[in-house]
Amino acid sequence: MTNHVEEIKNKLDIVDIVSSYINLQQASGNFRANCPFHNEKTPSFMVSREKQIWHCFGCDKGGDLISFVEEYEGIDFKEALKILAEKANVPLTGFSSAKKEDHSKLYEINKEAAKFFHNILEQDTEASKKVLKYLDKRQVKKGSIINWQLGLSSESWDGLLRYLVTEGYGEEDIFKAGLIVKKKDNSGYVDRFRKRLMFPISDTQGRVVAFTSRTLTGIVYDEEEFGGKYINSPQTAIYDKSKTLYGWHLAKDVIRQKKYLIVVEGNMDVIASHQTSAKNSVAVSGTALTLDHIKLIKRYANNVILAFDGDAAGSRASFRSISLCWQEDMNVKILVSPKGKDPADIIKSNPDEWLQFIKDSIPVMDYYFKRIFQAIDINRADHKKVAVQKLLPIIKYLKTEIEQVHYLKILADKLNVPFEILKKDLDQATSFLEKQDTVVQKVVQDKKDSATLLAERIFMIAFFKNQYLDKLISELDPDMIIESFQDLYKKVIIYYTKHQNLEKFGNFEELSDEEKEMWIRLSMSGEKDYNEIKEVDLANDFQHLISRLKKESLDIQRQGLINQLRQAETSDDQAKQDEISHKINLINKEVYKLQS
């Protein structure tokens, strides 16, 4: 956003600009007209003076005063800006970029928090002794505890908060850093992390930006888990889990040297791996590998080893990570550890065994061929059919025809089937990511469609009446919102936490064009649909929608876990079945709370 744009918008009123082109009629606080961009008999074009935006519910176009002039005059951004600059009496002497927002205080606060947690771990207390004993049992070395800044969160409800305040930081900034949460009665704040083993998460420059925390139930404390086994920092202005890899700051130089990296699943796996020569290891933080992660990796290396536990490499979620790597022309190998053993367990028993697993990792397609052919008898026609049904959808996904033909020939040779027959079947096959059980697909899709509608209604109310944003942010994490709304919601959280309103959110430089259009559409829809609704009815409607969305989110999670449970039952993995069943029970409890 340029300084000129800000000045022009501050000096002009969108209602005055639009009404100089078309006839606007006032309607319930907004202004309405027949849309100038498509033919209509009933007015569906609306302008909001309060938000300085416009939107047509007929053709779905919308924007600010500059985009209106662009659209109406059929000119580009620069030409529209010249017209409006003249109206605003603002001389255009060149475009200078606005100063980037300073987040230095958030980095300082997270750095101090890491020191605070680490100091508690080093104190001579019963709790710290038990945690250190646990880490020693996991064979985490003293040097690793220091290097990774491992810590222990306070037993007090506000220990970190009080410490940071005495260090001169305000509650608002501590809240923006994601380290405290509002009390339910809004009377103040409490620490987000309490009685937990703390893992600081750093950005690419080594600055602490967030935390992962592990419950200490059964290790230090006897009370029931509160909030689950792991609790992570929320989305903040300096932390986005879809762009952050745990351990990257310590691994990146080794990754560049070795020209490959290993992606494991847990924080302890990364730390354990760094205690061996495999210091080119990182982990995702509460999410699957994303395109942003892969683009970061690609700047340093073009080769990735994905480490999976047991049969996890065959799951759809794993294949999505693989497919994203392929999309960026990266070479991917698979490392599969024994059932029930993660990398940290292997390293604890025998570090050299872990290094051998890394050496023995194999290309993705070789892994799938090996896995499937180990389970069939190639002398049986029905087994050949199974192999074809499983492998063709994966071959179909390969990026080039050369790769497809290569693996199709291998499959034809292994099965002793004419290549031409398999080629014909390949042409008719559906790629792996599109192929799934139709019944499950319909259930999940119905849930997603419902979740989309719920998210839209919730945002319409929150954008229309900003007093509902506090409740929205405190009750719904971005992960609970359907994916198509997540990026917008994350930016809403960042902007609202800083400004406590969305008055100029449309000017937020971090917004993409698509997100800005979505915000405008939802804002104007909220004003259109809820303007005449009584406040008490609006509040009740909002709470009902929040509860329904939470339940929908939990239902989708539960359905996914049920599918995983079926896989675990098929592979006779009792430990995995127990773990998944426990997660399903926790979700059932949450659903029960929402229904009671």
| Nearest one of 503, 539, 541, 537 to 523, comparing CA atoms | 503
Question: In Å, how far are 330, 332, 559 from 302, measured between CA atoms?
Answer: 5, 9, 35
| Nearest one of 244, 333, 235, 253 to 284, comparing CA atoms | 244
CA 248 – CA 240 distance, rounded (Å):
14
Provide the pLDDT for residue 74.
Answer: 65
| Nearest one of 177, 513, 465, 462 to 476, comparing CA atoms | 462
Provide the pLDDT for residue 443.
Answer: 40
Provide the pLDDT for residue 5.
Answer: 85
Q: At a CB cut-off of 8 Å and minimum separation 6, what does 356 contact?
A: none
Provide the pLDDT for residue 314.
Answer: 53
Provide the pLDDT for residue 498.
Answer: 86
For β-strands 230-232 and 189-191, DSSP reports them as unpaired
* pLDDT tens figures, 220-234: 988 766 667 888 998
Provide the pLDDT for residue 447.
Answer: 46
Provide the pLDDT for residue 226.
Answer: 64
Instruction: Kindly give the confidence (pLDDT) of every residue in the chain, 596 residues in length, as a single tens digit, with 9 standing for 90 and above.
Output: 457 788 888 889 999 999 888 888 888 778 998 888 776 778 889 999 888 999 888 877 888 999 898 887 767 788 888 889 888 888 887 544 444 467 889 999 999 999 999 999 999 999 999 999 999 999 999 999 999 999 999 999 999 999 999 999 999 999 999 999 988 787 889 999 999 999 999 998 889 999 999 999 989 988 766 667 888 998 899 998 888 999 999 998 899 889 999 999 899 999 999 999 999 999 998 778 888 899 889 878 889 999 987 655 556 667 788 888 888 888 999 998 887 788 999 999 999 999 999 999 999 999 989 888 988 888 899 899 989 988 998 898 887 889 899 999 999 999 999 999 999 988 887 776 554 444 334 444 444 466 788 888 899 998 888 888 888 888 888 888 888 888 999 999 998 888 888 888 888 888 888 888 888 888 888 888 888 788 888 888 888 888 888 887 888 888 888 888 877 777 777 778 888 888 888 888 877 777 66
